[in-house]
């Protein structure tokens, strides 16, 4: 996940054009149990990718996504660096939203969505454009419903997925 050298507030609001109050940001920081000392001044805490665990960085990505008020949230192994309790907490948080969530995970037993899209291209059919075509159809349908953007989270470890999503038009 992208972490800039700066305050927690700057990291959580990075790329966000909405006016978000500190109270709303603090509520999410506390609900996602980002730090043990979730006090009000935590938003001014200076952070870097070296001062955070990989799990904290993933939580920051989730909070950043939630603060951007997306209509659709695309996740790809987004909880891979989290312990079981944190994964459970985040899945509960996501389930309580009214978002459309597209979640690619190998831990399907840990999530419980009403509807989900699962794309699994068999090895013999990979690199033939099927995944790209499925994503194109899906995005076209979302656009036809008035959805203007999609937020995608991909594990840094999954370089193949990152390459695939970049080829299909997603950017960092």
The Cα-based distances of 158 to 1, 28, 153 in angstroms read 12, 27, 11
Residues 6 or more apart from 78 whose CB is under 8 A from it?
Answer: 58, 61, 62, 103, 105, 153, 154, 155
Confirm if 57 and 80 have CB atoms less than 8 A apart. Answer: no
CA distance 24 to 31: 11
Number of helical H runs and strand E runs in the chain = 6, 5
3-state secondary structure of 142: helix
Average pLDDT over residues 42-48: 92
Q: Report the residue count for the chain.
A: 172
Evaluate if residue 118 carries a pLDDT over 60: no
Average pLDDT over residues 108-135: 69
Average pLDDT over residues 160-166: 82
User: pLDDT-derived band of residue 126, with 50, 70 and 90 as boundaries?
Assistant: confident
The Cα-based distances of 27 to 38, 101, 122 in angstroms read 10, 21, 42
Evaluate if residue 149 carries a pLDDT over 80: no
């Amino acid at each position: 996940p992208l972490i800039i050298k700066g305050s927690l507030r700057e990291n959580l609001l990075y790329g966000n054009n909405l006016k978000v109050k500190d109270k709303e940001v603090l509520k999410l920081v506390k609900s996602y149990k980002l730090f043990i000392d979730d006090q009000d001044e935590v938003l001014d805490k200076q952070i870097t990718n070296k001062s955070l665990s990989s799990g904290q960085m993933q939580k920051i990505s989730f909070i950043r996504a939630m603060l951007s008020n997306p209509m659709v949230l695309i996740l790809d192994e987004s909880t891979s660096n989290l312990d079981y309790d944190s994964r459970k907490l985040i899945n509960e948080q996501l389930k309580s939203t009214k978002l459309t969530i597209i979640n690619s995970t190998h831990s399907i037993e840990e999530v419980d969505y009403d509807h989900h899209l699962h794309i699994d291209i068999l090895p013999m059919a990979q690199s033939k454009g099927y995944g790209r075509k499925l994503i194109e159809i899906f995005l076209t349908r979302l656009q036809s419903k008035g959805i203007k953007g999609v937020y995608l989270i991909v594990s840094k470890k999954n370089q193949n997925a990152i390459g695939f999503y970049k080829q299909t038009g997603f950017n960092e």
